[in-house]
Amino acid sequence: MYSFESRVRYSECDENGRLGVVPMINYLQDCSTFHCEDRGEGIRELGRKGFGWILAAWQIEVRRLPEYGENIAISTWCYEMKRLHALRNFKITDENGEALVRADSQWFIYELNENKVARIPETQDFYLEDTPRLDMPKLARKLKCGGKGTACSPTLVSAQHLDTNQHVNNAQYVLMAIDALSELGIEAPLARLSVQYRSMARLGDAVAPVVYACEGGHDVSLNDPDGNAYAVVRLQER
């Protein structure tokens, strides 16, 4: 298990003085990238070999968002690695070791020059650990939006939305979904958050949210101009 410690900064807090949803997701992403860096297979080194890890799906359970100034630890471990995907758990814990956030995730290796998903090189097998998988529901095969959707204002992708792969950062899709619910006067439930990433939005693309009701919350399909989803975000109560 790989871990690092931090303290919740004022700049990471929402209007209630708690860790915001996007900074929370960024902590999880940072933990996986730090893990890679400390194993000598960081963003630059893997990129030099023509590869990069991309996130395919999240499932995040929020028991409590830590408060401003609170000391936290962020941990991750890979519990399954096959030739075409890797599965990785995460935890954010407080000073007493209590799990505040738990997450499951699916990752692919992307071949940068060929612009496609590739088989995971055997050199990456060292990430696989004996640490057992968290007791969480398995990742859904596909998030399906049902019923009649309500279209919301689109977002034009700007440089602030991008990551080093030159496409919209994973956490930014969640922010777009929350903003769409806010536009409709809906407070986003944050106890359970699921995301599936289906294609990459890039600089200048328009991302159009469509909101659907689902059990215990809402689905937000973040679509391209043809109605195909870049990502689907599901926000639910417990």
51 and 118: one domain? yes
- Predicted confidence at residue 83, as pLDDT, reads 85
43 and 118: one domain? yes
Average pLDDT over residues 12-19: 94
Q: Choose one of 127, 159, 182: the last residue of a domain.
A: 127
Judged by phi (left if over 0) then psi (alpha if -120 to 50, else beta), residue 204 lies in left
123 and 13: one domain? yes
In the chain, the number of structural domains is: 2
Q: Is residue 183 part of a domain?
A: yes
Q: At 67, which CATH number? A: 3.10.129.10
Q: Choose one of 64, 96, 127: the last residue of a domain.
A: 127
pLDDT digit string, tens, across residues 124-141: 778 888 899 999 999 988
Average pLDDT over residues 198-214: 95
179 and 111: one domain? no
157 and 109: one domain? no
183 and 104: one domain? no
pLDDT digit string, tens, across residues 92-135: 999 999 999 999 999 998 888 888 888 887 777 788 888 999 99
- Predicted confidence at residue 50, as pLDDT, reads 84
- Beta strand 99-111 pairing with 86-93: antiparallel
pLDDT digit string, tens, across residues 151-168: 999 999 999 999 877 889
112 and 168: one domain? no
- Beta strand 206-214 pairing with 155-156: antiparallel
28 and 111: one domain? yes
- Tell me the pTM: 0.91
- Does the pLDDT value for residue 191 go beyond 80? yes
Q: Which domain range does residue 175 map to?
A: 150-236
167 and 121: one domain? no
Closest CA to 77 of 132, 4, 40, 124: 132
pLDDT digit string, tens, across residues 57-81: 999 999 999 999 999 999 999 999 8
Q: Is 222 helix (H, G, I), strand (E, B) or coil?
A: strand
123 and 172: one domain? no
pLDDT digit string, tens, across residues 75-92: 999 999 888 899 999 999
Q: Is residue 212 part of a domain?
A: yes
